[in-house]
Amino acid sequence: MRYTRWMWKLLIIAFAWLLAPAAHAQLETQPRFYALDKQLQMEEQRQFDELESARENNRALSGAPGAGVSVAEQALRDMAYQRERDGLLLQAEQNRQRVARERILAEAALLNKRVPETSAAVLTSPESFILPPAPAGQYYARVEGRFVLVDRTSELVTSILPVQPTDPTADVPAGPRPMPFPELPLRRVTKGSVLVIHDPTTLSLPAAPAGQFYARVESQILLVDARTELPVRVVRDR
The domain locations on the chain are 30-182, 184-238
Per DSSP, the three-state class of 215 is strand
Beta strands per DSSP E along the chain: 138-143, 146-151, 157-160, 212-217, 220-225, 231-237
62-106 pLDDT per residue, tens = 777 777 778 788 788 878 888 888 888 888 888 778 877 877 887
Tell me the pLDDT tens digit for each residue of 119-139.
999 999 999 999 999 999 999
Highest mean pLDDT among 9-13, 38-42, 63-67, 138-142: 138-142
| CA–CA separation, 121 and 29 (whole Å) | 10
Under DSSP, is residue 7 helix (H, G, I), strand (E, B) or coil? helix
Q: How many CB atoms lie within 10 A of CB 58?
A: 16
pLDDT digits (tens, 9 = 90+) for 170-228: 888 766 666 666 666 667 888 889 899 999 988 888 999 988 999 988 778 889 988 88
- Cβ neighbours around 76 below 10 Å, total: 11
**Helix/strand/coil for 202:** helix
Cα(28)–Cα(157) distance, integer angstroms: 15
